[in-house]
Chains A and B, each alone.
Chain A
Amino acid sequence: MSNVPGELKYTRSHEWVREEGDTVTVGITDHAQEELGDVVFVELPQVGDSFGAGESFGVVESVKAVSDLYAPVGGEVVEVNEALNERPELVNEDPYGEGWMIKLKAEGSGDLLSAADYEKHLAEEAE
């Protein structure tokens, strides 16, 4: 079973969200990195770019596939994880920590899942 920390919120497209005031940190879940396999490249937006909830903000490429990354909530990018340019493997090694992707200044709350609901979503997908 993949790791689903209780304090985070989630999307059906397997991003996680950590809310700190009106700033949210976004990454992909342990389940997502497991499914993708070894991540070899992460394309992230620039600070100052804005996205609506559900819009693609970047791309993650693994040995198996190239997948879009979707903004869990709308907002302006205030920081991106530059470390991923050199070390994309951080997404595999520490998806909820050093493998974070962007920080957004959130506008609105988006349609997010609790940890329990995300686990239910994973169980449904596995069927």
Chain B
Amino acid sequence: MLIKDRGRAGRRGYRLPEFDVERVGLEDVIPERHLRREKPDLPEVDEPAVIRHYTNLSRKNWGIDTNFYPLGSCTMKHNPRANEEAAKIPGFATLHPLQPEEQVQGALEVMHDLQGYLSEISGLPAVSLQPAAGAHGELTSILMVARYFEEVGDESRTTVLVPSTAHGTNPATATMAGFKAKEIGLDERGCVEVEELRAAVDETTAALMITNPNTLGVYEQNIEEISEILHDAGAFLYMDGANVNAIMGRMRPAEAGVDVMHFNLHKTFSTPHGGGGPGCGAIACSEALAPFRPDPVVEKAGDAYRLARPEKSIGRIMGFHGNFGVMVRAWNYIRMHGPELKDVTDMAVLNANYVRARIREKYRIPYDTLCKHEFTAQPPKGKRALDIAKGLIDRGFHPPTIYFPLVVKEAMLIEPTETEPKETLDAFVDALLELAEADPGELEEAPERAFTRRLDETRAARQLVARW
């Protein structure tokens, strides 16, 4: 039921004092052409109805604040409330994006600091905080690569290489930036097949988009050799930073030859996310690509901070200064952890390996080596990932990502994150082991305890109703 349907005409949740000034008609002060013809159709409800409506809606929601949420590739970790407090400070929360620089020095300082922190974590000298989310960071990076080749007059660079494990946004990015996406296969460990890459790289290659660790949760051990292959051909190595939660503080991408990468500040550095934002897909890049960063970046001149347009900028990609609230949270998160940020990485990797080791007795683990922060599993033969996922809902857990990455049949991509204690992991594993034994017929009925039963995804896709 919509909030509108709960109301009655004239019902209110407030009482205003009697008028004690002269009444003035709206049409006397606002030109007629600006007046709306019909009154807005607003809900007319009392306060208890509003509270109940939204409280009940929130109870139908499954989130990290209610349940364990091992949604692979998404890093659904706990979001520290200290971040929220920082973002709520009126000096940040009430700023207007058009305020002059001298009035927003504190906010610019936060952005400048954060640029420095991301530079330190990546080993790359230049940063832009502008992109609104991960895929936007990818696109920004590849547009910068395109602009670089335009600038040096190299028209032969028409192809961007993408491993078969890549997020779907990688080939989409390459295509949107005007390149042809070409897929590279995997070796038996689940890593980029180096010889296939070597054969594919030539003078038409603009970049390889690599995710490290990749979407199987496997570290790309040949990354240095891969970067050499690309650099020898005059191409760039782009790193999709979706999985930085598995490496930060332990591996600096620049030292492995990465030229440009993005971060998902909302994932790795903890902002409530999922459902479409806001996010921040900050990028870091080498000196060669730095002049092409989007406008603006924050610079420090003497004691003052100012917004600047990089020399050969690809231009604006986002309104105003980007999603500033996410930057404050990321700044706060990094400052809270300080040099111990690497403990986050270690614990994320340990938790994933613990779950992997425990479910191996019943689940198949393709590419079964020490994983990073996540891993893929397959249900026992004859069982479907979809049924296991729905069964988990009845047992109080958010399902893992299923049917991704595409290179693993019936894939379940499990990312426990570092913020879960052993008891939660054990309870999750116990549920998975029980589901491995469950009668498939029984699982087809799941979920039975959620507020809605199993959705007909096929019908929803074939007969899409996009408005009501």
Complex interface: chain B residues within 8 A of A64 (CB): 403
* Residue B461 CB within 8 A of the other chain: yes
Complex interface: chain A residues within 8 A of B406 (CB): 65, 67
* Residue A98 CB within 8 A of the other chain: no
Complex interface: chain B residues within 8 A of A67 (CB): 406
Are A40 and B403 in contact (CB-based, < 8 A)? no
* Residue A63 CB within 8 A of the other chain: yes
A16 CA to B14 CA, complexed, in Å: 69
C-beta contact mask, A27-42 vs B, less than 8 Å → 1, else 0? 0000000010010110
Are B461 and A63 in contact (CB-based, < 8 A)? yes
Complex interface: chain A residues within 8 A of B403 (CB): 64-65
A67 CA to B168 CA, complexed, in Å: 11
Q: How far is the CB of A29 from chain B (nearest CB, A)?
A: 16
Most buried by B among A41, A65, A67, A89: A65
* Residue B462 CB within 8 A of the other chain: yes
A80 CA to B409 CA, complexed, in Å: 30
Are B462 and A88 in contact (CB-based, < 8 A)? yes
Are A89 and B168 in contact (CB-based, < 8 A)? no
Are A63 and B409 in contact (CB-based, < 8 A)? no
A41 CA to B460 CA, complexed, in Å: 12
Across the interface, name the chain A residue whose C-beta is closest to B385: A64
* Residue A47 CB within 8 A of the other chain: no
Choice from A35, A40, A65, A66 contacting B462 with Cβ under 8 Å: A40
Choice from B168, B409, B458 contacting A38 with Cβ under 8 Å: B458
Are B461 and A35 in contact (CB-based, < 8 A)? no
A66 CA to B458 CA, complexed, in Å: 14
Across the interface, name the chain B residue whose C-beta is closest to A89: B462
A63 CA to B344 CA, complexed, in Å: 35
A88 CA to B403 CA, complexed, in Å: 20
* Residue B41 CB within 8 A of the other chain: no
Are A41 and B461 in contact (CB-based, < 8 A)? yes
Q: How far is the CB of B110 from chain A (nearest CB, A)?
A: 40
Complex interface: chain A residues within 8 A of B458 (CB): 38, 40, 63
Are B168 and A66 in contact (CB-based, < 8 A)? yes
Q: How far is the CB of A126 from chain B (nearest CB, A)?
A: 10
Are A63 and B457 in contact (CB-based, < 8 A)? yes
The A60-101 residues at the B interface (CB cut-off 8 A) are: 61, 63-67, 88-89
C-beta contact mask, B157-169 vs A, less than 8 Å → 1, else 0? 0000000000010
Choice from A35, A66, A88 contacting B409 with Cβ under 8 Å: A35
Across the interface, name the chain A residue whose C-beta is closest to B402: A64
Complex interface: chain B residues within 8 A of A66 (CB): 168
Across the interface, name the chain A residue whose C-beta is closest to B404: A65
Across the interface, name the chain A residue whose C-beta is closest to B410: A64
A81 CA to B409 CA, complexed, in Å: 28
A89 CA to B458 CA, complexed, in Å: 10
The A19-63 residues at the B interface (CB cut-off 8 A) are: 35, 38, 40-41, 61, 63
Complex interface: chain B residues within 8 A of A65 (CB): 403, 406
A54 CA to B431 CA, complexed, in Å: 44
The B403-452 residues at the A interface (CB cut-off 8 A) are: 403, 406, 409
Across the interface, name the chain B residue whose C-beta is closest to A67: B406
A86 CA to B406 CA, complexed, in Å: 26
A-B contact pairs, 8 of them (CB 8 A): A38-B461, A40-B458, A41-B462, A61-B461, A64-B403, A65-B403, A65-B406, A89-B462
Q: A63-B457, A63-B461 are in contact. List 16 more A-B contacts (CB 8 A).
A: A35-B409, A38-B457, A38-B458, A38-B461, A40-B461, A40-B462, A41-B461, A41-B462, A61-B461, A63-B458, A64-B403, A65-B403, A65-B406, A66-B168, A67-B406, A88-B462
Which 10 A-B pairs have CB atoms at the shortest separation, nearest pair first?
Answer: A40-B461, A38-B458, A64-B403, A63-B457, A40-B462, A65-B406, A63-B458, A65-B403, A63-B461, A40-B458
